[in-house]
Structure 1
Amino acid sequence: MTAEQEKGGETLLEGFASYCAVFVLALFAFGFVFQNYMIPTGSMLKTILIGDHVVVDRITFGKPAKWMPLVHYRSIRRGDIIVFIKPNETNMTLVKRVVGIPGDHIHLENGVVYLNGKPQNEPYTAKADYFLPYRDDFPRVPVSEGMDVTDQWAAELPSHIDNGDLVVPPGKYFAMGDNRPDSLDSRYWGFVPKENILGRPMFVYWSYNMPEQDEDITGLGPRLQDMVHTALTFFQKTRWSRTFHRVV
């Protein structure tokens, strides 16, 4: 044992090993426990803003693992905000709020959600200033040509209707955006399968004031130009007050 070790000091090699251990744990956490996601659209306004960057918890809604007994697991509840892969579009990730769980009976009447026969008070939602029959009286109004409803959902929808209510089947969830007038959600493409759900957003770690169309930027040149613009306007366009804002 060296004199340094006898004094309780740490050798250079031991210090390097400690830093490596912390780095490996961080990689594990962000690879398996947490994930970051940027919000590109306004479908969840005012709960989540365009340009919010959120940390997503990938564990809570997952399948319990015996080798991680201290981790908290729970089932998905009504009102939970979820991050998920859009059904039948594996390259698109969405964020919506769970409105109905398996077995629930749901319908909308003049934009108000009725859950198992009872109207819901949803103060976090944005209401429409104009009426659209299919969107606001769902599922009473049949799908017609020109709507943003997928063909598969248009064919499947009638089989889930019972006495004017949409019945959520086992293993699936009905999800809607908080910005109800401007959200393409389960009303338009169907239920969210449990296996498509990636996790739940926990908090905003960075919020940048950006236009909604920025999600459509393609090509190396425009992307580099956008990155430079973001770097130059980082301080003035960052919404500092939303840092560590909890997503509920």
Structure 2
Amino acid sequence: MGLGLVLVLGLGLYGAHRYRLGFDLQDHGCLDGSRIFLIDTFAGPEDVMQGDLVAFRALGVGVPVFEGQLFIKRAAGVPGDWVTVTLTHTWINGLRLADGLALASALARDPATLLRHERVPVEHFWMLGETPDSFDSRYWGFLPQSQVVGKAYALF
């Protein structure tokens, strides 16, 4: 019994150290249908593949209320991928992944300043939400991999 208790406590401590829960408390979330996420903090940027959900700290995104907040978005672009943002669509390597620039006016940004066609730099990601009004890389650019907290998995 003593060995079993030590094993259970050890596994619990390991799990508590490695994993975190993330909760999307927004009225309108940017990831369709998902509100609770498991974050694996042992999974670093080197473990992220295109399409993975990633938890990161928002630093330098241009909106003070979001500074330092935990975000979860999809790594739509990884180093070397081509990103094209037009007024109507966002493309990664020629695949249309997002529509429009719905938040430009709310952020007091001229949509023309958000247009781009460039490669995702080394040690960066291009992050996208799943809704047209997601605050994501379309508005703040590439995410430095140093801001990654871990990979995220939608639970509910």
Confirm or deny a common fold (TM above 0.5).
yes
1:17 Cα shift?
A: 4.3
1:112 Cα shift?
A: 2.9
Alignment of 1:1-248 (within 5 A): 15-32=1-18, 34-41=19-26, 42-48=28-34, 52-61=35-44, 75-88=47-60, 91-116=68-93, 118-120=94-96, 122=97, 135=101, 146-147=108-109, 164-180=116-132, 182-204=133-155, 242=156
* Residues in 2 aligned to 1:106 and 1:147: alpha-carbon distance in whole angstroms: 19
Deviation sequence 1:150-189 (CA, Å, 0-9, x none): xxxx7xx8xxx8xx50321110011011112x21111222
Higher strand share: 2
* Residues in 2 aligned to 1:110 and 1:147: alpha-carbon distance in whole angstroms: 12
Task: Tell me which amino acid in the other structure corresponds to 1:147.
Answer: R
Q: TM-score, normalised by structure 1?
A: 0.50
Deviation sequence 1:28-85 (CA, Å, 0-9, x none): 12212x211111233423142xxx22212223436xxxxxxxxxxx642221111111
Deviation sequence 1:2-24 (CA, Å, 0-9, x none): xxxxxxxxxxxxx2342133112
Higher helix share: 1
Task: Give the aligned partner of residue 63 of structure 2.
Answer: none
Q: Does the 8 Å contact 2:81/2:120 carry over to 1? A: yes
* Residues in 1 aligned to 2:87 and 2:110: alpha-carbon distance in whole angstroms: 19
* Residues in 2 aligned to 1:179 and 1:148: alpha-carbon distance in whole angstroms: 20
* Residues in 2 aligned to 1:192 and 1:87: alpha-carbon distance in whole angstroms: 9
Task: Tell me which amino acid in the other structure corresponds to 1:173.
Answer: F
User: Residues 75 and 23 from structure 1, CA distance in 2 versus in 1: closer, same or farther, beyond 3 angstroms?
Assistant: closer
If you compute each CA radius of gyration, which structure gives the higher value, 1 or 2? 1
* Residues in 1 aligned to 2:33 and 2:84: alpha-carbon distance in whole angstroms: 23
Q: TM-score, normalised by structure 2?
A: 0.74
Identity over aligned pairs, percent: 21
1:148 Cα shift?
A: 9.3
Name stretches of at least 5 consecutive residues in structure 2 with no aligned partner: 61-65
Which has the higher relative contact order, 1 or 2, with Cα contacts under 8 A spaced 6 or more apart?
Answer: 2
